[in-house]
Amino acid sequence: MSDTQENLGSFFKENSKLLKEYFETRMKIYRLRAIRLLSKSAGYFFWIIISIFLFFLFIIFFGVVLSLWFSKITGSYIAGFSITTGIILLMIILLAIFRKSLFVNPIIKAFISRSEEDSEEDQF
């Protein structure tokens, strides 16, 4: 019996090093996956912020140009800017009404598909 216990003890001693290396390697892999996910998320976040800023600049300049064009057509700055304000207000109302189908659901679907892609990459 003592020979079996001695063999079992030496087996655990030899394999404890391998087990420790395995867990250290797995921890490194999880840490690298977290870094990759964080860096991708930060990149997308900054891209979205810059895109939103440029979109707002575009909307502002487009609104001014449209207002001046309507002003020239109507012959009154007040009428031209009022028409443009009405158009922008109508767009805001439509976006608020259709926010779920235009923004919320597509973003949820994008996150789900992105997470499925990442999990498929991790399997290989």
* Residues whose CB is less than 8 angstroms from the CB of residue 74 and which lie 6 or more positions away in sequence, other chains included: 80, 83
Going along 21-88, which residue ranges are E strands? none
Tokens 């840490």 correspond to: 31
- The number of residues making up the chain comes to 124
Q: For 82-115, what is each residue's pLDDT tens digit?
A: 999 999 999 999 988 988 888 778 878 877 777 7
Does the pTM surpass 0.85? The reply is no
Burial class of residue 82 in the structure, from the number of CB atoms within 10 Å of its CB (0-12 exposed, 13-18 middle, 19+ buried): middle
Q: What DSSP element (H or E) covers 76?
A: none
In this structure, are residues 72 and 80 in contact, taking their beta carbons and an 8 Å threshold? yes
Q: pLDDT per residue over 52-76, tens digit each?
A: 999 999 999 999 999 999 999 999 9
Query: What does the domain layout of the chain look like in residue ranges?
Result: 2-123
